[in-house]
Amino acid sequence: MSDLENPFQETLLQRHRAEPCTVVIFGATGDLTNRKLIPAFYNVAACGDLPPQFKLVGFARREKTDEVFRKELEEGNRKNSRQGHNDELWNSFSQSIHYHRSEFEDPAGYVQLKLLLDQFDKERGTTANRLFYLASAPEAFKPILEMLKAAGLNHGVDGKWARVVCEKPFGKDLATARALNAAVAETFEEKDTYRIDHYLGKETAQNIMVLRFANALFEPNWNSKYIDNVQITCAENLGMEGGRGGYYDTAGALRDMVQNHLFQLLSLVAMEPPTDLSADSVRDEKVKVIRALRPLIGPEAVGANVIRAQYTAGSVDGVSRVGYRQEDRVNPESQTEAYVALRLFIDTWRWQGVPFYIRVGKQLPKKATEISIHFKKPPQVPFATARLPGSSENTLVIRIQPDEGIALRILAKQPGQALSMQQVKMDFRYSSSFGKASPEAYERLLLDAMAGDATLFARRDEVESAWKFIDEIEHAWHQSATPPTMCEYPAGSWGPKEADDLLRQDGHAWRLL
């Protein structure tokens, strides 16, 4: 049977075709809509992938007309569109955008919303699918869901579907995540619930499965026999700009980044091969990784494997920065971490004994997210007298942002009479290899939600398993009698020395970005 005759291949192609639908964005006047969602829809339209008879309704509290709303979004699109802004395309695309004013808790507003959606269906001459996007503050999720259910908008009509997309943060601990999951489950079925994590929409994150499972060069060696350690780094060169301090000081690096984004990357790196590429087959394997994480219970275990820190005054890119506790809207006595480094172990046959190091922090020297796979060194018997470089291990580097790509570092002989070796890099970059820029993460994820493909969205059990692990660390930090130390590092450095010591204990070092 050829690929063209393979029904599984055909299914994969079909499921990525977005179906005609109306998208309703709750919190449509917020930053996410202006900076990410509308430019994503616009670029999908520019690529010719927007479904026919598409409609978008912005749902928010402020009073404004369709025309005013469209003009505001146009200004944002000019600044944020990946492919630039084309007036002719925008004029055509913007005619599908409408505005609906209502309080999130007002039942009458949802009755009017239903009438508006029904009017669109009448104009189309057919009933359309409906996608509800919760881009509001997390505390508004529950009332929005309750109002959608009360208005009868949580079910499709005439064989059409109704789905909900939930933005992060999805809870702030296990208890709130469970409560939110329960509220969603009372309104939408799990198959119609899409918990979005934009990191999984990035091309390189998606490419991890292809790299691992479609290449015989890597899959046989992707285990504890050949891999020495794995590092995941998410470095940010900003602090609390834009008034972000108020939110961040209630969350911290562990809950803001590790529980969702970095655990998603961890699970893609460590998961077993799925039986197929269906959404649940992939997500079944991802959640197994989170459940297999060796628990860190109590301040002693947390203190030995997790480093938390705050930045002090320093300089980033030649610009002076204040310390974390001096940032706007941050408690001067804050015990919230702006940096965290973790040493984790996955208790499975494949990964027994392999440390996974994760670090994320603010006010570091550069902005970058990458995964590095550090392979064990072969016996150096034939080269006992050769001159080896300081770092001679083979390393596979998966760059998530900003310069998406994959690099493999290997040893090669330097030209000349002496047997002297040097590390060289085999580098693949998306932009140069494929001749075009990668789509923004939200473009892919929005298309998947409209196509009914939940592969790149978090499932309920995955979210709750991650929070269960994170809660033990938070408890040791904030509720134990002897909490682990809050370390410090100057802004513009790569973090506290204690994070370096964490790896040095195992004979390892953080990869230099």
Q: Which residues are catalytic?
A: 261
- Tokens describing residue 23: 């998208």
**Amino acid occupying residue 255:** R
Please state the φ and ψ torsions of residue 410, each to the nearest 5 degrees: -130, 170
Contact 296, 472 (CB under 8 A): yes
**Amino acid occupying residue 484:** P
**Amino acid occupying residue 348:** T
For the chain, what is the radius of gyration of the CA atoms?
24
State the maximum Cα–Cα separation within the chain, in Å, rounded to a whole number. Answer: 84
Contact 38, 73 (CB under 8 A): yes
Question: CA–CA separation, 163 vs 19, rounded Å?
Answer: 12
End-to-end CA distance of the chain: 46
Burial of 6 (0-12, 13-18, 19+ CB in 10 A): exposed
Place of tokens 């020297």: 365
Q: Where are the alpha helices (DSSP H) in 191-244?
A: 203-213
**E strand spans, 277-349:** 306-312, 314-316, 319-321, 339-345
Among residues 202, 241, 486, the alpha carbon closest in space to that of 363 is found at 241
- Tokens describing residue 165: 């997309």
Distance of CA 225 to the CA centre of its chain: 29
Distance of CA 322 to the CA centre of its chain: 28
* Residue 278: other Cβ atoms inside 10 A: 17
Among residues 109, 98, 95, the alpha carbon closest in space to that of 140 is found at 109
Across the strands, what pairs with 321? 314
Look up residue 227 and give its DSSP letter: E
What is the side-by-side order of every strand in the sheet holding 55-60? 97-101, 55-60, 21-26, 129-134, 162-166, 193-195
Please state the φ and ψ torsions of residue 188, each to the nearest 5 degrees: -130, 145
Question: CA–CA separation, 456 vs 165, rounded Å?
Answer: 12
